Amino acid sequence: MRYSEMFLPTGREVPSDAEVISHQLMIRAGMIRKLTSGLYSYLPLGYRVIRKLEQIIREEMNKAGAEEVHLPMVQPAELWQESGRWVHYGKELLRFHDRHDHEYCLGPTHEEVITSLVRNDIKTYRQLPRNLYQIQTKFRDEVRPRFGVMRCREFGMKDAYSFDVDEEGAEKSYEKMFAAYNNIFRRCGLKFRPVEADSGSIGGKYSHEFMVMAESGEDAMVFCEKCSYAANLEKAEVACPEKKRIFEDDWLPLEEINTPDSRTIEEVSAFLKVDPQDIVKTLIFNADGKPYAVLIRGDQEVNEIKVRNYLGAAELELATDEMIMKTTGAPRGFAGPVNIKIPVLLDYSVIDMVNFVTGANKEDYHLKNVNIGRDFNIQAFADFRVVSDQDKCPRCGGDMKFARGIEVGHVFKLGTKYSKAMKAVYLDKDGQEKIMIMGCYGIGIGRTVAAGIEQNYDENGIVWPMPLAPYQVIITPVNVNEKDVMAAAENLYLALKASGLEVIFDDRDERAGVKFKDADLIGIPLRIVVGRKNLEQGKVELKIRKTGENKLYPLQEIAQEIKQIVEQELNPDRL
RNA sequence: CGGGGCGUAGCGCAGCCUGGUAGCGCGCUUGCUUUGGGAGCAAGAUGUCGAGUGUUCAAAUCACUCCGCCCCGACCA
């Protein structure tokens, strides 16, 4: 395409409201514009990248045996009431009424719609398994949209849903999708890693997130340096420690001490001159309205997701001051397990501790020399804490590393959560009615593009990997007023285009510097510079965006060279 | 929803404290020069100063209300 005919508004200034690099560059490169909070328009250049990604996804999904459908974005309340999510999904679900006063929502995801579709038309095991996907706009009324298209309210997503006759089939469907996702992100040229993840409120026992590695990522993960274990930080397990023998002879008499105004671990630690490791933190949680005490070593953090999952609670949050006062008889900061009337959950980190410090359930008092068994009893002993960098791999005991990433894909085993609630059943060979086993698989489209930028940029702008690049080549005539230069550039443009390459011809009457800057900013992988001096030698210059490498080629050979590079870089096997 | 910040030309910002006829840089338009890494000179155009109400002879500036946006937190298939 001729640059002069493109709607490609590039900018020099960094927009003041963009903090992450992908957001800044997408705006500067003329890919996106914000309409209002959490809503973005894609301009031609940005939309080309989106379509590139979608095409890769389509190819791999089709290859994996999935079929593309297109479901409505507006969904009736009844469907969500059936699944129970009309109540549970919360404020992220944008609800509204039509003229007949019927209730609807904008689809944040499509389990309900797909399950409704499938249950009506799939009746027998002969029609299973089935995997249906779509690429569709979702709407989630995010509390706080940020980072440009990375976390916005309206966004494109590829979502797939599998239906199987049994667990074994569902497992196979899951594995297929897992493999397809690996192919997709590898083909995009991204550095990524699948990690074990919590399945959250969508349900299901088993899930993996696909993380694109990036320092700016919103998610933290850990991975083992020895084996293949990798997990989202909120899921990452802590191995159960071996319990050393505790000699009851070591137990010292329980002591109550006055600790005025010492509420936090730091304050208590400083006041009593004991290490945080010798203090036990007692946190009161509200799990669906019931209070629980969670005990953890003073220097560790509680992982609320683990607590919630352990208790099977729908909602879990730290108790309010009021609830703490009611359950412990003391204000926040003085809770402890001794004589408490609620269930006590003990984290692994406390198991070896003796003669530790806890709150006394009495304002301005703590207890010293507290011991498990003698001074209080526990209801549960499990892993409730956030992994720390001291921890070893729960699988092999190897050293663990922390990293940050952007969640671009998530594969879930849903089981029968939706098929049961919404009666998606089939008849098996014996004429028995059975519930379908489901899986669901999502990829955030815009987010993946943004993640691609987070991983591929330099001080001059975006550095697209070939498979995502909006155009593969840009031809830059140095001076449009020189007839020979323009004629050569134009011919080259027509030749490259005819050979099937995606090419921009920068025919603008701009100074060379401006064109170079724009070409770099929008990240076109290959640039051919046509200038008078080289042309007189029958040569043009090829510049590789990624490496900055600069080489002269005879005019006759450049097309072939370009073709070769593009084909090579589109081939995933090179990776 | 809690805390903080911002709203002035397409973009980035100054002016506000201490009220007195709206400014800078980039971009844009026109002309001349220039032409291999965001050119130079000259001449221009562009604003309901987020909205409303109030105080005042006079409000971008002070007060109140509302709206929008951003950041931190809470929240999040």
Q: Is the CB of A15 under 7 A from strand B?
A: yes
| pLDDT of res. A35 | 87
Residues A543-551: what's their mean pLDDT? Answer: 97
Does residue A348 surpass a pLDDT of 70? yes
Q: Which of residues 192-231 of A touch strand B (CB under 7 A)?
A: 199-202
Report the range of poorest mean pLDDT among A165-169, A232-236, A454-458, A561-565: A232-236
Q: How confident is the model at residue A150 (pLDDT cuts 50, 70, 90)?
A: very high
Q: Which of residues 286-345 of A touch strand B (CB under 7 A)?
A: 304, 315, 317
**Between residues A564 and A389, which one has the greater pLDDT?**
A564
Q: Is the CB of A369 under 7 A from strand B?
A: no
Residue nearest to nucleotide B74 (CA to C1'): A143
What are the structural domains of chain A?
Answer: 46-69+108-237+402-453 (3.30.930.10), 248-382 (3.90.960.10), 471-574 (3.40.50.800)
Enumerate residues 6+ apart whose C-beta is below 8 A from A298.
A265, A268, A269, A275, A276, A277, A278, A279, A280, A281
Task: Give the model confidence (pLDDT) of A252-301 as tens digits.
Answer: 999 999 998 888 888 888 899 998 889 999 999 888 888 899 999 988 88
The integer distance in angstroms from the CA atom of A9 to the C1' atom of B28 is: 13
* Interface ipTM above 0.90: yes
Rounded Cα gap, residues A29 and A45, in angstroms: 8
Determine the nucleotide nearest to A476 by Cα–C1' distance: B36
What distances in angstroms separate CA A128 from CA A165, A204, A346, A420, A425, one per listed residue? 7, 20, 45, 17, 11
The integer distance in angstroms from the CA atom of A50 to the C1' atom of B69 is: 27
| pLDDT of res. A325 | 87
Enumerate residues 6+ apart whose C-beta is below 8 A from A566.
A466, A472, A473, A501, A526
A500 phi, psi to nearest 5 deg? 95, 5
Task: Give the model confidence (pLDDT) of A2-22 as tens digits.
Answer: 999 999 999 998 888 888 999
Rounded Cα gap, residues A91 and A141, in angstroms: 7
Task: Give the model confidence (pLDDT) of A549-567 as tens digits.
Answer: 999 999 999 999 999 999 9
According to DSSP, the β-strands at A344-347 and A380-382 are: parallel
Instruction: Give A189: exposed, middle or buried? Use CB within 10 Å, 0-12, 13-18, 19+.
Output: buried
Q: Is the CB of A512 under 7 A from strand B?
A: yes
Round the average pLDDT of chain A to a whole number and report it.
92
Q: Is the CB of A34 under 7 A from strand B?
A: yes
Q: Which of residues 375-404 of A touch strand B (CB under 7 A)?
A: none
Please choose, from the candidates A455, A452, A444, the residue with its C-alpha nearest in 3D space to the C-alpha of residue A152: A444
Rounded Cα gap, residues A180 and A384, in angstroms: 33
Chain B, protein-covered positions (CB within 7 A)? 1, 11-13, 25-27, 34-39, 68-77
Q: Which of residues 148-187 of A touch strand B (CB under 7 A)?
A: 157, 159
Amino acid at the residue A475 = I
Q: How confident is the model at residue A331 (pLDDT cuts 50, 70, 90)?
A: confident
The integer distance in angstroms from the CA atom of A482 to the C1' atom of B32 is: 19
Q: Is the CB of A39 under 7 A from strand B?
A: no
